[in-house]
Structure formats: structure tokens, C-alpha cells
Structure 1
């Protein structure tokens, strides 16, 4: 069959023309309904609320019992008995250790024998004085003999006093062989065993006895913190200011709050030049003996604000150690604004300058915002934000 070239060209051209026509129609349609460009983003916005807030300053601390007593021997000898075990609670006067007392008992016996000899010598000297006195009075013998007798009596009296002191000293050494608890408290580790040779020159104590009915938490403040501390509370002297400091809390190592509140009692007299800080001490009651010497924690010093602006931390950003938020004006344009932070918790900053109560701030999505940008504010209730993350 013979095909006409004109027919072939026509068959090819018509579909191409249709495709070109459809393409042109699509272009016209797109130009007539262009896609939205640079549409203002919809972002959550909240009016900055005011709320009563308690802010805490935290300071690392170490704990010690009110009395931590090193139990050390005051005489040398072999450890004969250990009456207590490590960790035991003991009361004042309770026996703890016994050092072999044989040597000291013999020294006491010797001192007592010397005392008897001194007493006999004094009695003899007294007899001589009594015998010579009437003879001198009657001019039978020279008064020189009486003077000599009196001198011998005085020497015997001095020897007797010395012998009594030696007996007392020997008795004290014997008493030192039984070591008793000087205070109530808990026994620490006992590095020595029965039969160990112990003495006054030993570097290690026999044990440590801790009175933990009251615990002292030691912490320090830097110089700027101390100046702010002094300016915060009324009073002319530090002692007067400490009376106006509220009770403090103790945050334990597991981040739980110790149930008993404490009171700051002491400020060290001067700054430690090596670390530029001054030391404080807070006292905590320890009725259940939960706390022990050597525990660590954090002192939480509270400050109550009757009304303070509350701003979620996620609504903020930082530039060169300054905290900023984006505020929204009546025309829905945003502008960055620095804020002053007086405190914070896990979720919020507490603002003391830079914002007004009720002023609208962008809650999230601020990463790509710039000053003057237009947004579509989606108003969020401040109550819902505060309920979701309680202060």
C-alpha cells in the first residue's frame, strides 16, 4: 500500500499541537492562580503572666555531725577488748575500748607505797618537832635543833604532796586504759583489732564518734553572691541579717528534698583568698538519724516574690549571655527584646525587667524569626501553660 508523505506529517503534527496546547493552558492556569509565597507563619503566642514564685539559690554542701570526736588512746598498750561494733549507736559514758592495764596498775601500787613512806616520814618529822619544842622552851637544847626539825618536817610535807600527786597521776593512767564515749553518737570504722598495740603517737584514731542529732551543712558563697546576700536581708550586722534569713532546704544527692528545714547559723570571719569564697554553716535537725557525717547535698536558699513575670524557657534565646524573647505588637509583627532574669526553675524564667504583665510573647518556633517579621498569632492561655508545668 502506498502512503502519502503529507498524510504522515499531518499525523505527527496534530498530537504535537495538542500537547503544546495543553502545556500552554497549564502555564496560563498557573499564572492565573500563583502558589502562595512568604506566607506569615502561624505561631503560638501567650500574654506574659504574673505569679507568686519562690526562687531558690543552690550551693553545694558537705555534711558533718554536730560533734565529730576522734577517739584516741591517752596511754600506750595492747588493745585488750573492743566493746562496740562499727556503726553502733552509743551513749556518753559507755565503754568502747580496754587497753591492758597491768603495767599501770603496778605503777599505781608503787605510787601508793611511796605515799605510805612519805606519810611515815612526815609523822616522824612531826614527832621530832613536838619532842624538841618543850626542850627549847626550857633552854635545855639549842633552838637550832628545833629549826632543823621543822625544816625536816616541811621537806616531809613536800614529799607527801609529791607522793599524793604521783598516786593521782597513776590513777588517771589506769582510768585511761578504759576508753569511754565522751558524747552520744555513732561509731565509725575501727581500724584496730584486739591485740593491736596502740598509743598516743598513733596516726590513726581508734574510731570516730559522730553525734548526728543535729547535722551541720557547710557551704560557701562567692564574693558577688555574698554581697547580694547581705543586701537582701534587713539588719545592721551579719548576725542581725542571719536572723532574718528564712529557713533553708537541703537537696540530697538523689535530688530529693530532706524533710526537715535548716537554719543558717554561722558565717566565717573572712574570705578564703585561694577560692574567693566565704564559708557558711546551716544546722538541720536529724531526729530519725537519716543524715550521716560525710553526706553531700545542696543548700537551697529561698527567696519569695509576691508577683513576678513568668516566661517559659522555650520561648527564650540567648545572645552573648543575654536572654531575649520575641514580643508581638498590635500589627502582629515581632521584635526581639532582652529580659532580666531574677531566677529560674526547670521550665520557667522569672523576669524582673524588660517585659510588662500581659505583653504577648512568641512561645515557640522562634528559630527562624527576625525583627519585623509578620506572624499569624495563635493565642495560648497562660493558665494552660502554667498547669502543664507547675512552678
Structure 2
């Protein structure tokens, strides 16, 4: 029994004499690190846009009447001067005939008054009659001449009205919907036009900038005046409703004279060639406007962390400890953020594995490409 107690005591004393084991130290992760660089990137901003033909006109009748004939179909491509509609011309032809008859009567009266003047002139010259009669004849002749001029004007007006019964295309372009059918009564006061006609060989694309965007727009391009800046603008692109990009570039060529008070925005216009007629008035899309940035810090998007509507990067200090740093974004260029503030050129940031980092944690920096391979293999 004594032997057993001595053995247990020896085991206990041996256990107490052993040093306590220390917990293993956490491994310092090897993470990719890069220096922030500054550059002159170009970013692209898209703005909702409305497309209109270079000429977009309503076709309306200029005289009242019944629509006798329609020479074209909806959506047709028509040439300038091509007949589109015919209004019943009978009432206007009759008015023209009456005007011509009145003109002939006035011309006869003028001839008669001229004969009277010619008859009285020698009699007055030979002092056969008093000159008052000649003066009265000349006054009657003047009235007759005025009546002839008035009659000719009425003939001209009647001819114009007859011409208005044949409605022709004022420009070349594509027709819209035909709002009236053959036999309809039409007139200049109708609230609805007969149709729309758009010349879309060139199209105008209208888009708007807010006040802040317009300030940035003006500061991004060379030139002392707004017109000089517009001339220095690079070509713009048109993104169609299916997110495809129109094949031809456009050019911004107009800035509205004032801001819209209701929207606090100003309208700009870009023009695009459209010889094949792919674009039509009423189309919508987006104008992609390039903006040149100077001396802007660039940070890869994959090196950022978004929390509570803020964007952060992990900067690496001299002791290789990381600090979560908020940054202010000015835009995007490819896969990079353009940073307005928060980091400066030469700052080191972690480019991968940031989801598991903690404030003040120490890391082992590696060049970004080499470290990225090592990190992805774990």
C-alpha cells in the first residue's frame, strides 16, 4: 500500500514539473499587395436619349375638303415633291373660274376707262371741253386699274387654294401612320395631322446633363469657350434599346441656351449619320459620353470592400499591418475604380483575400501577381 501511494505521488510530481504547452501562433497570411498608381483614364457615362429625324414635320391640309385620294402607304419612303394626298378640288376650281371671270370684267372696265381718257385728252388740249372732265376720266381709269389688280390677286389666291388640294412631301423621308382615310373630311383646324414625315438620313439625339454633370463636362475638355470645348469633344456612341451599340459614331454639336427649371438639367444634341435608315424618329437609347480624367488614382475593383454604402480598401503600413481605409469614388474605367480621395500614389493596398482581414492584422506582402497565385492555391 505504501508502495502504491509513493508511485502515485511520483506521477503527480512529474506531471507538475512539466512546463505548460503554449498555443500555436497564428500564421501570418501571404497576400498580394500593389502600389496605387495615377493615370489619365477615360471613363464613359451613359445618358438616356431621344432620337429625332433631322427634319420631322407634320403633314396637314391647308384647305377644307373631302380626302379624295391617298397616294402612299404608311411607313413609305417618299421623295421631296412626291404627291401624298388629294383633296376634292371642285369647289376651289369653281372659285378660280369665278375669280378669272371677275378679272376679265375688270380688265374690260379698265379698257373702257382708257378709251374715255384717250377720247377726252385731245378735246381738252384744243380747249373744246373743260379739263375737269378729263380729270374725272383719269380717276375712273385709276379705279379700273385697281380693280384689275384686285381681281388678279383673287385669281392668284384661288390658284393657291387649288394647288393646296394636292398635298406633296415637303422633304424626303419616311411617313408615319396615316390618321385619315379616303373620304374623310379634313381641314387646317383638325387637331390631328394627316401623318408625320421624318427625314432620317441624319438623326439628332437629345440627352440631358444635371448642373453638376455639366460643370464636370465643361472642365473635362480643352477650350476657352463652350463652342471650342464642343469642337474638341471626341466622338460619342449611341447605345440602342437592346444594349447594342450603333455602328457609326456621333458628334455633340449643340448645347441648349438655358437649363430647364423643372428638371434642373440642360439639353445637349448629338448628330449621327443614318443613310440606311436604321434609326427612326421616336427611337430611344443612351448616349455614351467619354470623359477624360487627369492624374487620377486607380484601384482595382476586386481590391475594394463595400460596407454600409461606403467603399474601403486595406492599406499596408510600414510594419505590414493593414488599415481599413474609406475611399471616395469618382468613376469607373474598365475593372478599376477612379479614386477621388482616400489613397494617394505610392500607397500600398491588398488586392485579394480582404474578406478575411481585420483591422491591424499583420500580413506578409507579396507582389500582386505572384501572391495572387499563392493565395488562390490555398
What's the TM-score once normalised by structure 1's chain length? 0.83
Q: Which residue matches 1:388?
A: none
The alpha carbon displacement at 1:246 in A equals: 1.7
> Structure 1 residue aligned with 2:339, among 348, 351, 365?
351
SS of residue matched to 2:45: strand
Q: What's 1:112 paired with? A: 100
The residue that corresponds to 2:191 in the other structure is 203
Deviation at 1:342, TM superposition (A): 3.4
Alignment check: 8 A CA contact 2:41 2:333 kept: no
Q: What's 1:83 paired with?
A: 71
> Structure 1 residue 363: deviation in Å?
2.6
Corresponding position of 1:72? 60
Stretch deviating more after TM superposition (290-299 or 313-322): 313-322
Per the alignment, residue 47 of structure 2 pairs with 59
CA distance in 1, matches of 2:50, 2:358: 47
* Structure 2 residue aligned with 1:13: none
Alignment correspondent of 2:326: 338
Residue in 2 aligned with 1:160? 148
Q: 2:258 matched to 1:270?
A: yes
Query: Is the CA contact (8 Å cut-off) linking 1:46 and 1:381 kept in structure 2?
Result: no
Q: Aligned partners of 2:264, 2:367: CA distance in 1, in Å?
A: 48
> Post-superposition shift, 1:322?
4.8
Please point out which of 264, 271, 275 is paired with 1:287.
275
Alignment CA distance shift 1:272-1:307 (3 Å): closer
Aligned to 1:125: 113
User: Does the 8 Å CA contact 2:221/2:292 hold for their aligned counterparts?
Assistant: no
Supply the distance in 1 between the matched residues of 2:197 and 2:21 (Cα, whole angstroms). 88
Task: Specify the alignment match of 1:17 in structure 2.
Answer: none
Q: Which moved more, 1:319-328 or 1:119-128?
A: 319-328
* 2:354 match: secondary structure: coil
Counterpart position of 2:288:
300
Corresponding residue for residue 323 of structure 1: 311
Q: What does residue 216 of structure 1 align with?
A: 204
In the alignment, is the contact (CA less than 8 A) between 2:220 and 2:292 conserved in 1?
A: no
Residues 220 and 293, structure 2, Cα contact 8 Å, conserved in 1: no
TM-align CA RMSD: 2.7
Unaligned residue ranges in structure 2 (runs of 5+): 1-11, 374-378
- Higher mean displacement: 221-230 or 354-363: 354-363
Please state how far the C-alpha of 1:316 moved relative to its aligned partner. 1.4
TM-score normalised over the length of structure 2 = 0.86
Query: Cα distance, 1:202 vs. partner?
Result: 0.4
Change (3 A) 1:348 1:373: same
2:85, 2:71 → 1: CA distance? 6
